[in-house]
C-alpha cells in the first residue's frame, strides 16, 4: 500500500470521526446507557401499566408519533429527542413495559411517571403514580439485574459512563401545593418558603441515593414557568393575558435553591458531575420570543376542549386538535408540543450557561 493511499485512508477516517462528532453522536463507549427519571414531561408509558387518572395512552396523544404510547405530547419528549441525538437507535423504554428486560436494560430505562413528584404525597389526586423515591427503588431493581448479568465491576463502570436525567418538581406545585381542593388548608399551615425547603431537603437525599447506586453524570432539570401553562391561565382568569404570578414565583424560588443544591452535590460527592438544566429560562425565552422560534401561538393548547386557553379539560378523544402542531408551544393544558421539545432539547444538548451549566449535555457525555 502506497504512502498516498495510507494518507488518504487516514484522512478519510478523520473525516468520518469528525462527522459523527459534529452530528452530535456520542460514541457508545462514552454514553452506553440513558436512565430517565421524572414526571409526565418525560414519561414514555409507565402510567399505562398502573391504575391512575393520569394517563396519555389514548388519541390524540401521539398523533405525530404513529399513535398514543403514553407520552403526554403529540410526538416525542425532550429525553426522546436527546437520546436520538446521542445516537441511541431506540427510545429508552418504560420500566414497567413487559419487554423492558434482559439485555434491553443495558442501554437504559425510563422510570418517569405522570403525576409523580419529589414528595411522596404529590399527585395523590390521580391515585396511582410513581414518585421519585419509588422510581429510585425501581432503578435499584434494574441495577441488581444488571449486576447479575455482567458482574459488579462492569455494572459500576456502565453506570459511571451512563447519562442520568431527573425532571421533577412541577407536580409538587401544580398537583400538591397549588391543587384547588388541597391548597387552601395546606397554604395556611405551610408557607411557600417552608414548602420549597421541604422539597429541596428531600431532593438532596434522593439525588444522593442515586449517586450511591452508581450514577455519576446527572442532569437535574429545574421547574419551568408553570404559571404560563394553559391550565394555570384558565384557572386563574384574573391574570388576563399574563402568566399567573404565584406558580412562577414558587418555581423561581425552588430553582434558585436547586441550582445551589446541584453545585453542592458536585462538590461533596466524589467523582460526580451534576448539571443544572435551566428549562425555566429556555421556555420563558420561547414564550417571550415565540415568533422568532417559528411559533404562532404561545399561550393556548393545541389539543383543546374548553377554556379560553384550552386548559380546563385534559387532552382526550373528544378534544379538537390544531391543524399545524409545529406552530404551538403547548400541546395540551400542561405539556409542550414536539416542536417546543425539540428546541428545549437542542438547548440542553449544545446550549450555554443561560440554559444549562456548568456544561451542556454533549460536553457531559463526552467527559
Count of domains forming the chain = 1
Q: Which of 80, 172, 278, 332 is catalytic?
A: 332
Instruction: Tell whether 198 is covered by a domain.
Output: yes
For 319-332, how does the pLDDT look when each residue is reduced to its tens digit (9 = 90+)?
Answer: 999 999 999 999 99
All cell numbers assigned to 39? 414526571
Mean pLDDT is lowest, of 18-32, 87-101, 285-299, for 18-32
10 Å CB burial of residue 59 (0-12, 13-18, 19+) is middle
Instruction: Tell whether 70 is covered by a domain.
Output: yes
Q: Which of 253, 335, 337, 338 is catalytic?
A: 335
Q: What is the mean pLDDT of residues 124-150?
A: 97
With 90 as the cut, is the pLDDT of residue 7 above it?
Answer: no
Instruction: Tell whether 19 is covered by a domain.
Output: no
Res 16: pLDDT: 33
CB 266 within 8 A of CB 207: no
The residue length of the chain stands at 367
Instruction: Tell whether 30 is covered by a domain.
Output: no
Res 15: pLDDT: 35
Res 22: pLDDT: 35
> Has 324 been annotated as catalytic?
no
β-sheet bridge partners, residue 277: 221, 356
For 294-320, how does the pLDDT look when each residue is reduced to its tens digit (9 = 90+)?
Answer: 999 999 999 999 999 999 999 999 999
Instruction: Tell whether 11 is covered by a domain.
Output: no
All cell numbers assigned to 344? 428545549
With 60 as the cut, is the pLDDT of residue 1 above it?
Answer: no
Instruction: Tell whether 298 is covered by a domain.
Output: yes
All cell numbers assigned to 186? 395546606
> Has 332 been annotated as catalytic?
yes
Identify the domain containing residue 95 by its residue range.
40-366
10 Å CB burial of residue 230 (0-12, 13-18, 19+) is buried
Instruction: Tell whether 121 is covered by a domain.
Output: yes
Mean residue pLDDT across the chain: 92
Q: Which of 40, 113, 253, 337 is catalytic?
A: 40
Evaluate if pTM is beyond 0.75.
Answer: yes
> Has 335 been annotated as catalytic?
yes
Distance CA 54, CA 56 (A): 7
Name the helix (H) or strand (E) containing 274.
Answer: strand 273-277
Which residue is it, cell 401544580?
174
With 70 as the cut, is the pLDDT of residue 28 above it?
Answer: no
The DSSP secondary structure of 286-340, one letter per residue, reads HHHTTTTTT-SEEEEESEESSSTTS-SS---TT-EE-S-GGGEEESSSS-B-HHH
Instruction: Tell whether 343 is covered by a domain.
Output: yes
Amino acid at each position: 500500500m502506497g504512502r498516498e493511499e495510507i494518507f488518504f485512508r487516514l484522512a478519510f477516517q478523520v473525516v468520518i470521526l469528525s462527522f459523527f462528532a459534529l452530528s452530535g453522536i456520542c460514541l457508545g463507549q462514552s454514553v452506553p446507557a440513558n436512565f430517565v427519571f421524572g414526571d409526565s414531561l418525560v414519561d414514555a408509558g409507565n402510567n399505562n401499566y398502573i391504575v391512575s387518572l393520569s394517563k396519555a395512552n389514548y388519541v390524540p396523544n401521539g398523533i405525530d408519533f404513529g399513535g398514543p404510547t403514553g407520552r403526554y405530547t403529540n410526538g416525542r419528549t425532550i429525553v426522546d429527542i436527546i437520546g436520538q441525538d446521542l445516537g441511541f437507535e431506540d427510545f429508552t423504554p418504560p420500566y414497567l413495559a413487559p419487554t423492558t428486560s434482559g439485555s434491553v436494560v443495558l442501554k437504559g430505562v425510563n422510570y418517569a411517571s405522570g403525576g409523580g413528584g419529589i414528595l411522596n404525597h404529590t399527585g395523590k389526586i390521580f391515585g396511582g403514580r410513581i414518585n421519585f423515591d419509588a422510581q429510585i427503588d425501581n432503578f435499584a431493581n434494574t441495577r441488581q439485574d444488571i449486576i447479575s448479568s455482567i458482574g459488579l465491576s462492569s455494572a459500576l463502570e456502565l453506570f459511571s459512563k451512563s447519562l442520568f436525567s431527573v425532571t421533577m418538581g412541577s407536580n409538587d406545585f401544580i398537583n400538591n401545593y397549588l391543587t384547588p381542593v388541597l391548597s387552601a388548608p395546606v397554604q395556611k399551615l405551610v408557607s411557600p418558603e417552608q414548602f420549597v425547603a421541604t422539597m429541596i431537603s428531600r431532593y438532596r437525599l434522593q439525588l444522593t441515593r442515586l449517586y450511591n447506586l452508581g450514577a455519576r453524570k446527572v442532569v437535574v432539570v429545574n421547574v419551568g414557568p408553570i404559571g404560563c401553562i394553559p391550565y394555570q391561565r384558565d384557572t386563574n382568569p384574573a391574570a388576563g393575558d399574563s402568566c399567573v404570578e404565584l406558580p412562577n414565583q414558587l418555581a423561581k424560588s425552588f430553582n434558585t435553591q436547586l441550582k445551589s443544591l446541584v453545585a453542592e452535590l458536585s462538590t461533596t460527592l466524589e467523582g460526580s458531575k451534576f448539571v443544572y438544566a435551566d428549562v425555566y429560562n429556555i421556555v420563558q425565552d420561547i414564550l417571550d420570543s415565540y415568533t422568532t422560534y417559528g411559533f404562532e401561538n404561545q399561550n393556548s393548547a393545541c389539543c383543546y376542549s374548553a377554556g379560553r386557553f384550552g386548559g380546563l379539560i385534559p387532552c382526550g378523544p373528544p378534544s379538537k386538535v390544531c391543524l399545524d402542531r409545529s406552530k404551538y408551544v403547548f400541546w395540551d393544558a400542561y405539556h409542550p408540543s414536539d416542536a417546543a421539545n425539540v428546541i428545549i432539547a437542542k438547548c440542553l444538548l449544545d446550549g450555554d450557561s443561560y440554559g444549562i451549566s456548568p456544561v451542556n449535555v454533549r460536553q457531559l457525555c463526552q467527559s
